[in-house]
Structure formats: C-alpha cells, structure tokens
Chains A and B, each alone.
Chain A
Amino acid sequence: MISPDTTHPPHSLRLRSGNQMMAEGALQAGCTFFAGYPITPATGIFKTMIDLLPARGGVALSAPDEISAVAYCIGASMRGAKAMTATSGPGWALMTESVQYALMTETPLVVALVQRLGPSTGGATQGGQGDVLLAEYCTSGGYTIPILCPTNARECYELTILAFTWAELFRVPVIVLSDKETGMTIESVDVGSLPSITSQNRPSNFAFRELGGFRQNERKGTYYFDAIHEIPVFAPVGGPRKVTATGSAHDKQGRLQKNSPETLEVLLHLEQKVRWRLDDFAVVTADLQPAAGTLIISYGITARAARDAVSEARRMGERVSHLIVHSLFPIPVKKITQAAHNVDEVIVAEENMNGLYRSVIDRHLAGKRVRGVNKIGAMITPQEILEAIMS
C-alpha cells in the first residue's frame, strides 16, 4: 500500500499538508459525506472537504459539536454513503459514544484523529502521540478498532483510501491516526505518482437482490452471519426491506436481547471478524538489516526522525533495523516478531510520556530487551534516537 516516493519522476510536485491529502484521499476513496467541527490541528481536513466535496455532489456539513458530527456520519453510512469525520483529542473524547455505536451496529465509518498534546484541552498547537490507546481502547470490552498511522502527507492520502476499504469491507469504524506535525506541515507531494486506486465498497443487498438472494437474506436479518468471522451483508436503510440497527446487545436480526447465546455470539463476532483477518490488516515499512542487534520500532511523525537516526547509525557502522508500523491495530504481531527475530534489543520511539504503543507490543517481544525513547511537548529528534541506539 505504501508506495515509495521515488517510483516516479517527480514531475508534478505540489505543496500539500497532510490534512489536505487526507481529504483528497477520502475523495479518491469515494467519500460522499463529511461532517466536522473546528478543532486545531484537524480543521484543515474539515476545511478542504467543505471546499471540495459539495462541488462533487457530496455533502459536507458543519456540526454544532463532535457528538453530532460523528452521528451524522453514521446516519449517512447507514444508507451506504462512505462517510468520514475528523477531530483531535478533545473532540475524540466526545465521539467515542458513537464510535462504539458504529462498532456495535457494524456501520462503516472513517475517523481522522489528528493528535495534539493532551490531556484535556492540552496544547492546541502542540503535537503529540498520546492518543494511541485512547483511540484503540475507546470501547467497553476493548474491541479491536483498526488504526492506520501515516508519517507524511503522501501516506495521509494512501492510508485514508485504505481506511475506507477496511471500513467498508469489514463494516467497522477505522481510525486514521495522524498528529499535528503530519497533518499541518506543508510539504511537496508528487501528486502525479499517487495511486489511482479507490476504496472497495461494502457488499450490499442491492447486489444481493440482483443475484436473487434478497428474500432469503430478509428472513435471516440485518446482522446475519453463518461463520463467526463472516461479514453480514449490508442492508441500507430506506430501501425496500425493513432494516433495523441497534446499539443495544442484539441477536442476528437486530432484536435487543440481554445475554442470549445468539447475542453473545454476535458480540464475539464483532471481535472475531477482525481477529480472523489479522494478516490482512498488517501494513508496515520494514527496513531490516541482516545481523542487526537493534530494532527500532516507530510510527507517525516519530518514524521520520527514526529513519534519519537509523541511517546515521549505519553510517557510523552500527547494524540496526527499522520497522515503521502503519497499522497500529490490530497489532501486526507477525511483522513485529519477524523484524525482531534476531535482534537482542528493541527500541520503541514515540512522542508520549509512558511508551503507550510499547506497553502493548511488549508482550510479543519476550526475551528481548525493550526500551523506549519517549518525550512530550516537542518532537523526538533523530539525535535522541541515535543516542539510544549507541548507548
């Protein structure tokens, strides 16, 4: 998915921010509905959508708050529109109720979460990578929510398209976790070499109908699946068939039930449909060196400092590998353990206080010395990572 910047001659360089590229990626993915509420550093996505989407026949709506913004998106998605919203930490806190609702109702949704320094109002114009676990563990029950994490403006475009594909195919909310520096830095992007793919669409019972299976599915209900990991065929609201959706615990027909065996099966299914496809969700950039003693793991803006640190360390004769994780969740366990296979030591660099991502990948790195390079209030520098490598 992540195509290197150098595959095409840079014949069409344009200045773009990560936020703009995320909006353009969403349009490329076929997003037709956007709702937002102003918040630094995510406002650029909202603004670009307001400027571009209505002209293409889509809907871009200003909401009175983030609670409404995400709920508008869910309503639109229930009809089949590819829908997206964008926010930062304080707004994300308000959205989590409805993100859980999207998960429970299996409604595709893409949320761009452009991190700033927290907690609370925190620092509106100060970056950070402190929302990693707040984003992932926003559901009661800790259901896996896919999270994609770009490191530059170009990846903002590419990963947003991928986020729509995942949201659509697996009927889940997907988060594109950016940060203030990635979102607001304006850099050159070779727009001529951007992938021309779009996102895939959810299998819907519009198609079902044409295949003659419509009546049969009707009996089985909105959330019907046979195998636990199977994705129920999407039934849009406002169609010829009665559709119900509920954020309450429900059976396969969408009927509210407390803890019937079928309801528990539906809850298990919400997690298993993601877990069963773990390998499909793994997106990393691996720059591995044979016989490396140290592996650097990084993501988001910090990956750019890590890349510089790694090349400098190599210039100084160190053998060091680097893994940039783009799909933070579900954790790409295989990719991580493969990259760490022969090293003695793993260093996880991230711009937060306690090593949030390190705390959840630690358990997959048994037998390795695992350390963090952590910092808040400023970007981690290549020098700081280099010092960790050399020490």
Chain B
Amino acid sequence: MELLTTTNGMEVVYQKPPTLTDTPLRYCPGCGHGVVHKLLMEVVDEMKIQDQTIGVAPVGCSVFAYDYMNIDMQEAAHGRASAVATGIKRILPDKYVFSYQGDGDLAAIGTAETIHTVNRGENILIVFINNAIYGMTGGQMAPTTLLGMVTSTTPFGREQQVMGYPLKITDLVAQLPGAYYVTRQAVHTVQAVRKAKKAIRNAFVYQTRRQGTCFIEIVSNCPSGWKMTPVEANDWLEKNMLPFYPLGDLKVPAS
C-alpha cells in the first residue's frame, strides 16, 4: 500500500502508515509501545524502505511486534536482540536493521549485548523503550525503576541500599566510542511524539553512513504496571521520569 496524498480531491492530513498492519494492538490503553511502533513505520514508509528493513524485537510486551509491523521481524530470546541484529547486519550490511527492546531486556539481562554491540559500533539502530518496569511479566522492578517507585518486587518502593540506583544505560552507552547518535526522547505529548519521530528518521538516515550505532531511548509509560490511568501515567512520567531521565541528545554526529 502506498501513502495517500489526496483522496476525492481532499488533502490527506493524517493516516495510519500502510506498513503498520491492521491487526488491533494488544497493548493496554495508553501504552507508549503503540505510538513508537507507528513512528517507526511512518519513517519506513516515508523513506520507502519497507523491503529493506529488518527488525528484531525480543520477548516483552512487544513480543507481537511482527504482527504490527509489516516488515521482516525476528523475535529474539530475552536480552539477545542486539546480538541477533548484529548477525543480521553483518550478513546484510545494506539493509536497515533495528532492535526494539524494553528496559528489562536491554538494561538487565541484555546489558552485555547492549554494551558490546555499541562498543563495536555495529551499524544498527537500537530503540530502547524505558518504562521503568517489567511490563510483560506483571510489573516487577526493572534496572530503570526510580528510587521509591512501588513495583510488585519493591512493595515498599525501590530502596537504594537494597537495589541500588536506577541505571542510566543511555548515558553509559553515549560514552562508548562506537556510539554514533544517542538521544533520549518520549511519546507522552504531541510535541514529544514529533521530536521522537525526527530522531527515528535521523537514525535511519545515519545508518547508511556506517559510522556506528544509533541508540534512541524512549522514556515511555506502563499504565498497567504503574497502576494508573493513561492520563495519570503520562503526568507521572512528566513529573517523575523526566527529571531523572532528561530528554535530549546525548551524542550527535559531528556534521
């Protein structure tokens, strides 16, 4: 399907990207995952690279990503997405390859893969959905869980003495010489969504330069795990997540 520009003589101002399938999203109402899926597929459609793009999404709430994104999608084992993406990219260096990982996946069980993928400067895009919780398994503490935040495995709030500090893995990644473009975005407001899309588009374009890894953190929400309505979750995100995970670029290409 092509992007429409006009229909019945009227200008098209908004449409679902054709590469996003018609499958109803199984995400909870208000969840950020769906928005990021849409942005990715919008960029793929605008760049006309549907048949040149390969995604790797591991387990997590986005385990059904292959159902929503009409491109080649692989589901990797927990934590292994960027490693599988590495193998794909090394064999198909001309394709656009991205991984799509939650915070549990990328910053806990997959930390070694994350650090080494970026340190090698693999020419892939890593999309990192940070909702500060394990969504799929029912709301347990993640490495990114804020201090004091209540989850099912921190029933009295995350205590630094017991469970350490929330991990700013994006800041770590930005230190690595193999990182080419590192940015932190969000999708909780219209303005944030627009910026996030621009970042995703940049990252896809940068991938063709073969200068290193592009890494986009999306500070997202988990209304179910946080036990909030979607609106409350986005407010909470703004007031609590963003002060700790400030939005903006951490590393940008020289030119």
- State the A residues within 8 Å of B (CB): 37-40, 43, 46-47, 50-51, 61-62, 64-66, 90, 120-121, 124
Contacts and interface: CB of A to CB of B under 8 A. Distances in A.
Contacts of B140: 38, 43, 46-47, 62
Given A39-B137, A62-B154, A65-B109, 20 more contacts: A37-B109, A38-B104, A38-B137, A38-B140, A40-B137, A43-B137, A46-B140, A47-B140, A47-B153, A50-B154, A51-B155, A61-B162, A62-B140, A62-B141, A64-B143, A90-B77, A120-B77, A121-B77, A121-B78, A124-B59
A48 B77 CA distance: 26
Contacts of A62: 140-141, 153-154, 163
Contacts, number: 47
B108 A64 contact: yes
Contacts of B138: 38, 40, 43
Contacts of A37: 108-109
Contacts of B153: 38, 46-47, 50, 62
Interface in B166-204: none
Contacts of A61: 162
A337 to B, nearest CB: 41
Given A50-B155, A90-B77, A120-B77, A65 B108 contact: yes
B159 to A, nearest CB: 10
A217 B141 CA distance: 45
A39 B78 CA distance: 11
Q: 6 closest Cβ contacts across the A-B interface?
A: A65-B109, A38-B137, A64-B108, A38-B140, A50-B153, A62-B153
Given A46-B153, A90-B77, A64 B111 contact: yes
A65 B134 CA distance: 12
For the complex, would chain B's binding face be called helix, strand, loop or mixed by DSSP majority?
mixed
A120 to B, nearest CB: 6
Contacts of B141: 62
Given A37-B109, A38-B153, A64-B111, A121 B75 contact: yes
A294 to B, nearest CB: 42
Interface in B68-114: 75, 77-79, 104, 108-109, 111
Contacts of A124: 59
A40 B78 CA distance: 13
B153 to A, nearest CB: 5
B52 interface: no
Contacts of B108: 37, 64-65
A66 B79 CA distance: 11
A66 B108 CA distance: 10
Interface in B17-76: 59, 63, 75
A37 B59 CA distance: 14
Contacts of A46: 140, 153
A43 B137 CA distance: 8
A51 B150 CA distance: 13
A66 B77 CA distance: 13
Contacts of A90: 77-78
B111 A121 contact: no
Interface string B113-156: 00000000000000000000010011011010000000011110
A64 B106 CA distance: 10
A61 B141 CA distance: 11
A80 to B, nearest CB: 22
B200 to A, nearest CB: 27
29 contacts: A37-B108, A38-B104, A38-B134, A38-B138, A39-B137, A40-B137, A40-B138, A43-B137, A43-B138, A43-B140, A47-B140, A47-B152, A50-B153, A50-B155, A61-B162, A62-B153, A62-B154, A62-B163, A64-B109, A65-B79, A65-B108, A65-B109, A90-B77, A90-B78, A121-B59, A121-B63, A121-B77, A121-B78, A124-B59
